[in-house]
Structure 1
Amino acid sequence: MAGQLSVDRASLLALANKARLITNPPGQIPPGALAGERTSKQQGRGLNFDSLRRYQPGDDVRLIDWLATARLRSPWIRLYNEERERPVFLLVDQRLDMFFATRVQTKSVAAANTAALLAWRSWHDGDRIGSLVFNDSDMTLQKCRPPRTTLNTILDTLVHYNQQLPEKYPTEPVAKVSLADALLRASSAIPNGAWVAVLSDFHDLDKQCDALLAGLRRRCEVSAFVVLDDLHRHLPTMGTVAATYQGHEAAFSLSSGIREEIEQSITARLARQQSRLTRLGIRVNHLVVTQDLIKQLQKGL
C-alpha cells in the first residue's frame, strides 16, 4: 500500500487476508463469542426465535407462547437466540481535497484502502454491508446487503471514484457535493443499529453535518476516520514553500516563526475537529497516510 496515487481492483482484493488482522468494529460481536457477551444495539428485542420448551417455575411469564400452550394443554415458552449480525455502512470521501499527499499515498488512496479493509472484515464476519462513495459531483449508494452480494460492487465503486481523481485534478472542477450532502443521502439508507464509518478529511464539517451526525448517532454507532497527511510534522526548517489550491497559488519563505505558526494552526484545527465530533458521541480515529494503516486500525478499533 505504499507509493500510491490511485488504487486498482487487484490491490483491494489483496487486502482480504490483511483484514483478518484488524478487530471487529465497535459494538460488533466477535465470531465465536458467547451469547449475551455484548449488549445488542439493535432496536427492539434484538433476538431471533429458536425453539419452544415447557414452562418451568421461575421462567418469565412474558415468554409464554399462548397458542402453543392452548394447543398442548400445558404452558410452553419461546426461547430466543441473540441476534449476532450487525450492519456496517461505509461513507467514503473521494473528493479532490482528498487527492493530496507529500509521501507514501494520497488521502484518497488511504480512505479507499481503509474502506476495503473494513469491507473485507465484514465479509469475514458475515455482516451485511453498504456504502456511499462520493466525489465533488456524484454519489453512488449501495444499501446494506449480505457481503457476498455487495462486496464486489463496493470495491468496484471505490476503484471507479478513486481512479477519476488524477484526471480531474488539473482542471479542478467546482465542488458540488459537500460532506453534509453525502450524509443526508446516506442517512435514509442506513438501518437502525448499524455501525457507520465515515472516512474523510472532514474539511467542510459544518453545523448541518453536526445535525445529521447527531441524528445518526441516536440510532447507530458512528466512527470518524479523519485521514490526514502529516506535512505539518515534517516541514523543512528553511527555504521557499509553494502551494496551489482551487486556482490560487502562493509562495513564501519558510522561517522558523512561520513554520511554528503552521504547525500550531494545523494541530489546533485537528483538536477542534476532534472535540466537535467527540461531543456528538462519535469515536474519532486519525489515519496518517505515511503510517501503516493496519497498525493504526488495530489501535483505533
Structure 2
Amino acid sequence: MSSAVRIERETLIGLAADARAIFNPPGQIPPGALAGERVSRQQGRGMNFDSLRRYQLGDDVRLIDWQATARMRTPWIRLYNEEKERPIFILVDQRRDMFFSTRVQTKSVAAAKIAALLAWRSYHDGDRLGGLIFGDDAYSLHKCRSPAGTLPALLDDIVRFNHQVADNYPEESPHPLTLVSMLRHAITLIPAGSWVALIGDFHDLDNECDALLAALRRRGEVSAFVMLDDLHLRLPSQGKLSARYEGREADFSLSPYLQDGIKQNITARLSDQEKRLTRLGVRVNQIVVADDLLWQLQKGI
C-alpha cells in the first residue's frame, strides 16, 4: 500500500535528525536564556524544595522560611534543587476519521510523523516520554519513562495502529473509542508538570473533553495538533467534484455559491474548534497534512 496512506517504521526512524530542528515545547526556557550547550528543562521557578539552613549574610530574604524562623527564633532559609526534567506525553489518534486525504498523505500518516518528530525531540533532550496511541477499537498506553526505553515501543505502536486503520478501512467498529475515553485513561498516568501533545482531528471534542483538558492544563502545558486537509481552500468555483467514503462514491457539480458555502462552513468549524481549545488554555497548532510538517512544527510549536 502507498506510503501516502500507510507509514513504515523506517520512515519514523528517519525523522530522528529532523527532530533536532524543532524548537523547545511550550513552557521551556528559550535558547540562549542559560549558558550551556543545550537548553535547560526548568519549569516556572524550576526548583524543588530540598532542605533548610540558617540565614547567612547575603542570602535572598525571599527565601526565608518564616515558620521555621519563628520556631527557632533565628532566621532560616529554604534551599531548592533545580528541576531538570519535563515529562512529555503524546496522544495520537489513528481512528477511521483520520484515514482521509485529497493529496500527498492521509491525516493518519501525517499524525504518525508528527508524533515521531515530537518523540525523537524528547529522546534528544532526555525527557521522560510516555504516550497513548489509539484506533477505533483498541489502544496502547505507555507510562512516562526513560525515552531510550519508551521510544522503540512507542514507534512500533504508531506503526501498528496506522496499518490497522489502513487495513480495516472502510469497516466500521461497532463500539468505536472516543477522545474523552482516551483522555480518561491517560490523565491518571500523566505526571504534574508534563507537556502533553494531542494529535488528531478532534472531530468528537465535547464538553467532557473540555473538563479533562482543563484539568490537564492546570497540571502542565497542553498543545493540540489539529490535522486537516485544506481542500476547502483549494476548491474551484465550478466543475465536477468526486468524493468517496466507505466504499460509496458521489459526483456533484460545483458552483460559486456551493464553493463559498463549503469554504465558509469548514473555516467556521475549524475556527470554533480553535477558540474552544484556546479558552481551555490549550495551545492550538493547525497542521495541513499536505504541507511540510517539520516547517509547521518549527513555526507553531
Question: TM-score category by the smaller chain?
Answer: 0.7 to 0.9
Distance 1:10 1:65, change over 3 A: farther
**1:207 matches 2:210:** no
CA RMSD after TM alignment: 3.0
**Displacement of 1:116:** 0.4
2:82 paired residue number: 82
Q: Is the 8 A contact 2:42 2:84 kept in 1?
A: no
Partners of 1:92 and 1:65 lie apart in 2 by 47
Superposed, 1:1-301 pairs within 5 Å as 4-29=4-29, 34=34, 40-41=43-44, 46-47=47-48, 49=50, 55-59=55-59, 60-62=63-65, 79-174=79-174, 176-245=176-245, 250-301=250-301
Match of 1:297, SS? helix
Unmatched segments (≥5 aa) in structure 2: 70-74
1:63 Cα deviation after fit: 10
For 2:191 and 2:247, locate their aligned partners in 1 and report how far apart those are by CA, in whole Å: 40
Distance 1:177 1:38 in 2: 34
The AA in structure 1 aligned to 2:65 is: R
Deviates further, 52-61 or 9-18: 52-61
Report how many aligned residue pairs link the two structures: 290
Q: Distance in 1 between matches of 2:64 and 2:47?
A: 19
Give the Cα–Cα distance (whole angstroms) in 2 for the partners of residues 105 and 251 of structure 1: 22
Inter-CA distance 295–63: structure 2 relative to 1 (3 Å threshold): farther
| TM-score, structure 1 normalization | 0.86
**Closer, same or farther: CA 248–215 of 1 in aligned 2, 3 Å:** farther
The 3 A distance-change label for structure 1 pair 146 and 48 is: farther
- Cα distance in 1 for partners of 2:218, 2:225 equals 19
Cα displacement (A) at 1:198 = 0.4
Counterpart of 1:239, as a letter, is G
**In structure 2, what residue type is equivalent to 1:105?**
Q
Question: Aligned partner of 2:43: which letter?
Answer: S
- The change in CA–CA distance for 1:104 and 1:175 in structure 2 (over 3 A counts) is farther
Cα offsets for 1:2-48 (capped at 9, x unmatched): 96211111110100010001111101246885399886259xx8427
CA distances 1:109-165 after superposition (whole Å, capped 9, x unpaired): 111100000000001111001000011111110000010111111111101100112
How far apart in 2 are the matches of 1:279 and 1:52? 40
CA distance, structure 1, for counterparts of residue 3 and residue 112 of structure 2: 14
| Structure 1: gaps spanning 5 or more residues | 67-74
Bigger mean CA offset, 75-84 vs 152-161: 75-84
Output one character per residue of 1:242-279: Cα deviation in whole Å (capped at 9) or x when no partner. 33445765432111111110011000000000011111
Distance 1:7 1:182 in 2: 22
Aligned-partner Cα distance in 1 for 2:150–2:40: 29
Question: Residues 40 and 84 of structure 2 are in contact (CA less than 8 Å); yes or no, is this contact kept in structure 1?
Answer: no
Q: CA deviation at 1:79?
A: 4.6
| Aligned residue number for residue 69 of structure 1 | none
Asked if structure 2 preserves the Cα contact closer than 8 Å seen for 1:64 and 1:77, the reply is no
Q: TM-score, normalised by structure 2?
A: 0.86
2:106 and 2:292 map into 1 onto residues whose CA distance is: 13
Query: Contact 1:92 / 1:133 at 8 angstroms: preserved in 2?
Result: yes
SS state of the match for residue 100, structure 1? coil
